[in-house]
């Protein structure tokens, strides 16, 4: 089991919209993530910097960040593009984070 972490940036005043959209996560997207080895996925929000911190437990070689060519994922990116920093293809601007400590 691997642990992955990355950060993204939410636009100001979009926390409640972001939470609502994720509370209503599409069942086909949730299943896609599970089918690709994502067993846990948490996202935390830093109110001061509007930074989203994401954490995933995955089995296999990749997590959600490796599903860029999937149509469901592309549709989700389009749906989320109005409330967060995105790249030209509407994927979230995302920076992987290095694990420097782990206590099992």
Q: What are phi and psi of 100, to 5 degrees?
A: -115, -5
Give the CA radius of gyration of the chain. 14
Residue-wise pLDDT for 43-60, tens only, equals: 999 999 999 999 999 997
SS3 label, residue 99: coil
Catalytic positions, written as ranges = 22
Give the CATH class of 2-86. Answer: alpha beta
pTM of the model: 0.89
Where exactly are the structural domains of the chain? 2-86
Query: Largest Cα–Cα distance in the chain?
Result: 38
Q: Do residues 89 and 77 make contact, with C-beta atoms less than 8 angstroms apart? A: yes
Query: What are the tens digits of pLDDT across the range 61-78?
Result: 766 767 889 999 999 999
Mean pLDDT of the chain: 94
| H/E run at residue 3 | strand 2-9
């Amino acid at each position: 089991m691997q642990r992955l972490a990355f950060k993204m940036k939410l636009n100001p005043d979009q926390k409640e919209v972001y939470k609502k959209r994720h509370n209503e996560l599409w069942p086909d997207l949730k299943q896609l993530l599970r089918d690709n080895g994502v067993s846990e996925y948490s996202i935390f929000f830093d109110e001061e910097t509007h930074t989203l911190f994401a954490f995933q437990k995955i089995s296999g070689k990749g997590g959600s960040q490796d599903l860029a060519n999937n149509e469901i994922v592309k549709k989700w990116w389009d749906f989320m593009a109005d409330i967060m920093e995105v790249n030209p293809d509407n994927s979230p601007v995302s920076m992987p984070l290095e694990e420097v400590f782990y206590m099992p």
